[in-house]
Structure 1
Amino acid sequence: MFAYQDIVAGVKAAAKTNPIENYSHCQLLNLHSRNLGFQSFHHLQSSLKAVPKDNFNQISTRLMRKVCASKLPSQDSSYFEFWCHADGSFSFYSYWIGWDRFGKEVRLPRPLIGLTSVKGLRKQVDSPIYVLESTKEILAWMFGWKGMAYIPESIARKYFAFHFNKNHLVDKNPNMPLVREQDPFSTGKFCND
């Protein structure tokens, strides 16, 4: 699925967005290549060029998964936190914008400072947190990797347009008794003994 150039560009992006004090760019390329199991960036490049075409897709997808699980978001864009669940459904970190005519909450994806969020979550969570910045990465995550991902705004709006376009669902005069009935935290529904 991924081409040679995708892997090389992914390692370069990881080196660019994950700076370490007193490391040159070349040292960072070597460090990120070693994290993928290679001796150096040159070894990564020469090894990938030597992989037979019939094995390359499987190997490149595994490598890109590791790259996406280690790189950090750029500071040039807002990011959105999405989850792809095992059953293929999606959820996202959101904010409330109102209630619909059925008394249910209407929520939109919440923009986040990706760099701060990903750094903090990776310290607390054992499962991978992917940073996805291309169509191929999104598709590999949706149809293979699953889990939590941080996605820049332009890509998130492209692939999850439905989740961003919900303002029309908000009822201007919601039926409050129906809202209370739908609310899982309303009296008598939460922490019943």
Structure 2
Amino acid sequence: MSDREVLITTLKNMLIKQENITTTPEELLDHKAKLIGFSDFREFLIEINIKPKELINKSVEIHKRICQAQIPSPDTKYCMFKAYPDHTFSYKTTWIGKDEDGRDMLIPATVSTDIFLGELPEKITRPYVINDLRELLLWSYRWFGMALIKEAVAREYFHEFFQKRKP
């Protein structure tokens, strides 16, 4: 799939709060495009219809805006991670027991996204919502900061953090 096709598909699949808005599919695409800084879906298509070399940087920025604007899927588990520019990570943990030496064993915890997002202070930047490996790689190497990562994606990429076993 080309970068253009990925961007169009990602925008179409972007989850947003719809709060009882009845819209046509075209109006919904226009609304999603507005959420990420375009006047409508047509302008979005014009912006991504550029030379492949130029599209690379624009694609990274558009993906960033989508991950900032989308909401977590209500039927999916997410883990909260934070990426730092030195390529280190921190994450919310859950205790799973003690190892044979009596040390606590911790693995990434899933979070209740409604509660987590609802309790964020206004001063805190809303976390990115990461739903696939492409978004995770962009976040971890280019954007940094706090992210809610789909648990299956986090387990695939950060498998070593989930390796602890109950004693």
TM-score of the superposed pair, with normalisation by structure 2 = 0.85
Change (3 A) 1:44 1:65: same
CA contact (8 A) 1:83 1:146 kept: yes
User: Which residue is equivalent to 1:120?
Assistant: 118
Higher deviation after alignment, 20-29 or 157-166: 20-29
Whether 1:4 aligns to 2:4 is yes
1:123–1:28 distance in 2 versus 1, CA, 3 Å: farther
Counterpart check, 1:132 vs 2:130: yes
Query: Aligned partners of 1:40, 1:135: CA distance in 2, in Å?
Result: 27
- Say if 1:97 and 1:151 are closer, same or farther in 2 by CA, change over 3 A: same
* Structure 2 match to 1:85: 84
Separation (CA, whole Å) in 2 of partners of 1:154 and 1:21: 30
Report deviation, 1:97: 2.0
Q: Rg bigger for which structure?
A: 1
- Residues 99 and 159 of structure 1: is their aligned pair in 2 closer, same or farther, counting only changes over 3 Å? same
Matched length: 165
- In the alignment, structure 1 segments of 5+ residues that lack a partner are 171-193
Compute the displacement of 1:37 (Å): 2.7
Matched, 1:152 2:150: yes
Cα distance change of structure 1 residues 118 and 26 upon mapping to structure 2, 3 Å threshold: farther
Using structure 1 for the length normalisation, give the TM-score. 0.75
% identity of equivalent residues: 24
Contact map agreement 1:133 1:155 (CA 8 A) in 2: yes
Shift of 1:6: 2.1
Give unmatched runs, 5+ long, in structure 2. none
